[in-house]
């Protein structure tokens, strides 16, 4: 039996989120003054546009209204997607980050910034950008070697279509 409010909310809301073709990534209940804010983060392999977010928000709101999962006090429901620099914590996060630049904190110490080329059950095939005119190199990184990973925002990257033209 779940003990924390977040676990109870996850059990209640995850089936609704999944029924909309989305994954429930995170639930957080925060106090802001006297009010509480329930933040729900959703995502999918194809992303989540505003219409899908609005649909799931209505579903979650209706479900919360018919239960006492949030108690009697006022709260605000916020439904959104992970930020641009999201941490990668699940296998599906790495799959969704293929072709993205990622900063890895390694278990053995140190950092590595590389582009994810492919993901399988054991780890990642990466392209490590060349430094000072050197060519990029390939590297294999197993999941057990990764302490933390976070997608990096790239402002100057050329689109693949631009590179092929």
d(CA 104, CA 70): 37
Identify the pLDDT of residue 116. 95
29 in Cβ contact with 76 (< 8 Å): no
Q: How do residues 114-150 score in pLDDT, each as one tens digit?
A: 999 999 999 999 999 888 888 989 999 999 999 999 9
Query: pLDDT at position 157, please?
Result: 65
pTM of the full predicted structure? 0.70
Residue 163 in this model has a pLDDT that exceeds 60: no
Q: Which residue has the tokens 């999944």?
A: 18
Helix axes 5-19, 50-65, angle to 10 degrees: 130
User: Using 50, 70 and 90 to split pLDDT, how confident is the model at 159?
Assistant: low
Q: What is the pLDDT of residue 160?
A: 53
Indicate the burial class of 137 (C-beta count within 10 angstroms; 0-12, 13-18, 19 or more): exposed
Locate 10 and state its tokens: 């996850």
Is residue 162 scored above 80 in pLDDT? no
pLDDT digits (tens, 9 = 90+) for 13-72: 999 999 988 999 889 888 878 888 999 999 888 877 888 899 999 999 999 988 888 877
Above 80 in pLDDT, residue 158?
Answer: no
The more confident residue out of 73 and 108 is: 108
**Contact criterion met (CB below 8 Å) for 164 and 153:** no
Higher pLDDT among residues 1 and 153, named by residue: 153
The pair of structure tokens assigned to 15 is 């089936």
Distances from the Cα of 32 to the Cα of 37, 45, 103, 139, 145, angstroms: 7, 32, 32, 45, 38
């Amino acid at each position: 039996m779940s003990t924390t409010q977040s676990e109870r909310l996850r059990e209640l809301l995850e089936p609704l989120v999944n029924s909309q073709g989305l994954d429930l990534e995170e639930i957080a209940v925060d106090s802001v003054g006297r009010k509480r804010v329930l933040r729900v983060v959703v995502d999918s392999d194809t992303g989540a546009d505003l219409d899908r977010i609005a649909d799931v928000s209505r579903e979650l709101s209706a479900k919360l209204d018919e239960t006492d999962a949030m108690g009697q006090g006022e709260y605000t429901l916020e439904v959104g997607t992970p930020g641009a620099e999201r941490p990668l914590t699940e296998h599906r996060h790495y799959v969704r980050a293929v072709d993205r630049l990622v900063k890895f904190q390694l278990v053995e110490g140190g950092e590595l910034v590389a582009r994810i080329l492919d993901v399988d059950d054991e780890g990642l095939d990466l392209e490590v950008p060349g430094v000072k005119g050197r060519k990029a190199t390939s590297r294999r990184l197993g999941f057990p070697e990764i302490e933390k990973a976070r997608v990096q925002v790239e402002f100057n990257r050329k689109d693949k279509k631009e590179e092929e033209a």
